[in-house]
């Protein structure tokens, strides 16, 4: 499976990593401890078994786009997730829809444009709810933040590698380049 992910400007990435660090200091589950070299703040637009590289690159040519973080979200299931809410402004929503369409719907219903909940993951926990008491969350999560989505990448879940999608990326050897 492959993803299409947007990456943040340096100041926004540093802010998210700072929150990860403060969550870790408070003993709460966070992505600061995830040591894989591909771990960095990102917004996933869609997933697909194969990507039409040229069509994805064309869709991503609208970058950079504004980023606005506002409030937190919690997702519950087998794994609980704490996330920073990304405001789906018109340009971002249009980009997500276009990438989802060119990736043939991607296969995961969570990325259908009507279902997509844009967010930056801050932490994951399998121990149940209550992992992130509101009174212990870093203060910057209560403050809106504006930045920029500057580039994109694709994560290969099988190989655990990333490919840069912007600017002027080259499709990986043997990949599909059709639209």
Which sequence spans correspond to the domains of the chain?
A: 2-164
Nearest to 121 by CA among 158, 150, 79: 79
Residue 161's alpha-carbon distances to 37, 45, 158, 164, 170, in angstroms, are: 9, 17, 8, 10, 15
Beta pairing partners, 96:
none
3-class DSSP assignment, residue 82: strand
3-class DSSP assignment, residue 66: strand
Report the chain's C-alpha Rg in angstroms.
16
Pairing mode, strands 65-75 and 145-156: antiparallel
Whole-angstrom distance, CA of residue 35 vs CA of residue 55 = 32
What confidence tens digit (pLDDT) does each residue in 48-102 have?
998 999 999 999 999 999 999 999 999 988 899 999 999 999 999 999 999 999 9
Q: What distance separates the 2 farthest-apart alpha carbons in the chain? A: 50
CATH class belonging to 2-164: alpha beta
Kindly state the percentage of the chain with pLDDT values over 90: 78
Whole-angstrom distance, CA of residue 110 vs CA of residue 80 = 16
**Region 157-178 average pLDDT:** 67
Through-space distance between the first and last CA atoms of the chain, rounded to whole angstroms: 18
**Region 117-145 average pLDDT:** 90
**Region 159-172 average pLDDT:** 74
Q: What is the pLDDT of residue 130?
A: 64
Q: What is the pLDDT of residue 106?
A: 63
Q: What is the pLDDT of residue 179?
A: 33
Nearest to 60 by CA among 171, 175, 173, 174: 171
Average pLDDT of the chain, as a whole number: 90
């Amino acid at each position: 499976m492959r993803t299409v992910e947007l990456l943040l400007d340096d100041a926004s990435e540093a802010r998210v990593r700072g929150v990860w660090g403060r969550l870790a200091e408070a003993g709460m589950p966070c992505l600061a401890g995830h040591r894989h070299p591909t771990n960095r703040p990102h917004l996933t637009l869609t997933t697909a078994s194969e990507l039409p590289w040229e069509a994805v690159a064309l869709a991503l040519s609208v970058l950079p786009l504004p980023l606005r973080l506002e409030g937190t979200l919690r997702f519950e299931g087998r794994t609980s997730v704490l996330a920073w809410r990304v405001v789906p402004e018109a340009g971002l929503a249009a980009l997500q829809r276009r990438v989802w369409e060119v990736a043939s719907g991607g296969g995961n219903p969570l990325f259908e444009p009507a279902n997509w909940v844009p967010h930056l993951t801050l932490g994951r926990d399998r121990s149940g709810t209550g992992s992130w008491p509101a009174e212990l969350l870093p203060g910057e999560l209560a403050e809106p933040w504006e930045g920029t989505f500057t580039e994109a990448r694709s994560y290969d879940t099988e190989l655990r590698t990333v490919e840069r999608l912007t600017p002027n990326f080259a499709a990986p050897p043997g990949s599909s380049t059709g639209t």
